[in-house]
Amino acid sequence: MKLDTDDPPGGERGSSSVQGLFILLVWTGLLALGLYAPFVLGLAYIWIDLFRPQDVVPSVMGLLPVSMITACLCGLAYAFGDRRDPPPLHLVTVLTVIWAVWITATTTWAVLPEHAWTKWDWAFKTVMFSAFMPFLFRSRIQIEAAILTIILAIFSNTIPFCIKALVSGSGYHRQLGLLPVNVGLGESSTLAIDSIACIPLIIFLMRHSKIAPYKGALKFAYWAAPTIAIVGAFATFARAGLVSCFVWAAYTWWHVKRKVMLAAVFCMAALIFVPLMGEQWADRMSTITEAETDGSAFTRIVVWQWTIEYAAQHPLGGGFDVYRINRRTVLQEDGSEFTIEARAFHSIYMEVLGEHGVVGAIIFGALMMAFYVSLFRLAWKTKKNKDLLWLHDLARALMVCATTYFAGSAFVGVAFQSFHYFLFAFSVSASHYFLRVQASAQQEGAAVQRRVPLRTPASALVRGRDSLPAP
């Protein structure tokens, strides 16, 4: 009897059922913990957003609106059980909300309203949740837990890519992770830049983690994680991953003291990784500088030219998925015509410019600028404070992470993927934590002054004396 092709063999169904039950238990466990610690519900939402259990095991998790349920419980838990120390209004938060309002406005006049509202439905939620995150993650442990959740969710797809690359080889546009191709982290370029961007966060946790301290067996995990990230990213065959890796390596080399030693380590790693990936990988990476001869790269350049021209004529943007109307014919060197039609932007910057116009590009650029300025100021203020060394290193790690990510995303349409919005939120949480530490120090200083006798002159206090000088 012939098996129905839509019905997997019994062993695969059983394996999928076990996997689905396990993931369901993880989700319900996070919800249960969230009843006692509301910020855990925020962790659950981050996990769902990146791991996408409804797509990993649709037969089980796809039956429930897990994202909506978790988001609603998260909001209710904060409103009724965890409203302590709300963060003050921050420029990053203000610009995030303005950005959400603007993408909603552009959707109202979108060229393709049906497609636009479909994308707006999840893009708007991504932006607004990032604005809400600083209300959930306020303490050091909470911020660290959120970073760990992001890394583990991303590595759930990176590790399978890494293993399959080492065992049987890899390739571009292949489903080697847990998610289908072009779904979240199942999209190779997205996974590649996310994996490389995690490395600065991993190094930060190695130095300062309280939840997973650098000792015992975790030492091996911390040392293995960057290698897994690089091999997994390279195994996607996405050129954006190589760009991100180069930027991270250059930034790291520039800021270390032992430059010769680190350069030797990077060269040795290249000698190991490149042969490991094979000739096909090397051939594909070599096309980065050959845009005119590589069809994919040449297509992107043509689409970017169309986008710039469209934005010049429509400065308010064309709404989500406006790329579907693009069409451009180019005369090649051999005299033949090359036509592109309905091709995606393949760039975070062109996606913003085409869909939301010059105004949208200004808002998004201002959001990025506010993010960097906020972290630079935080790193500068905490530079010489030993008690806040972790906060100083977190600010630097977030800047390196974002720089690495935004370099690679110049070739990937991820303007509304959640990773960089999470980074924006962490900058607000870190700044808020520093303000609370400052306020606490000022209160302690005021309390000390109140305990000093009123007859003590100010000059004596300056000299560190608790009583009047002897006559």
Q: Place 40 in a pLDDT band, splitting at 50, 70 and 90.
A: very high
State whether 297 and 441 are in the same domain. yes
Residue % of the chain over a pLDDT of 70: 87
- Is 106 contained in some domain? yes
Determine the structural domain holding residue 440 and report its residue range. 90-136+290-446
pLDDT at 305: 92
Query: Are 150 and 273 in a shared domain?
Result: yes
Is the domain of 326 the same as that of 404? yes
* Same domain flag for 304 and 198: no
Residue 216 lies in a domain: yes
Per-residue pLDDT of 198-241, as tens digits, reads: 999 999 999 999 999 999 989 999 999 999 999 888 888 888 88
**Total domains present in the chain:** 3
What is the model's pLDDT at position 172? 59
Residue 4 within any structural domain of the chain: no
The reported pLDDT for the residue numbered 458 is 45
Share of the chain residues as helix, strand and coil, in percent rounded to the nearest 5:
70, 0, 25
The pLDDT of residue 311 is 96
467 has a pLDDT exceeding 50: no
In a domain, 9, yes or no: no
421 plus 435 within the same structural domain? yes
Minimum mean pLDDT range among 68-77, 261-270, 424-433, 451-460: 451-460
Task: Judge whether 457 lies within some domain.
Answer: no
d(C-alpha 343, C-alpha 326), whole Å: 7
Per-residue pLDDT reduced to its tens digit, 309-339: 999 999 999 999 999 999 888 777 666 777 8
> Pick the residue with more confidence: 333 or 62?
62
Is position 470 within any domain? Answer: no
Using the predicted structure, report yes or no on whether residue 15 has a pLDDT greater than 60. Answer: no
| Domain assignment of residue 265, yes or no | yes
**At which of 230, 253, 287 does a domain end?**
287
Residues 302 and 430 in one domain: yes
DSSP conformational letter for 336: -
Burial class (CB in 10 A: 0-12, 13-18, 19+), 267: exposed
* 264 and 164 co-located in one domain: yes
**Cα–Cα dist 345/353, whole Å:** 10
Q: Which residues pair with 331 in a beta bridge?
A: 337
Domain match, 317 and 169 both: no
Considering the domain boundaries, does residue 459 fall inside one? no
| Mean pLDDT of the chain, nearest integer | 85
Q: What is the pLDDT of residue 2?
A: 36
**pTM for the predicted model, two decimal places:** 0.88
Strand partners, 328: 340
Where among 287, 319, 350 does a domain terminate? 287
Average confidence (pLDDT) over 76-84: 82
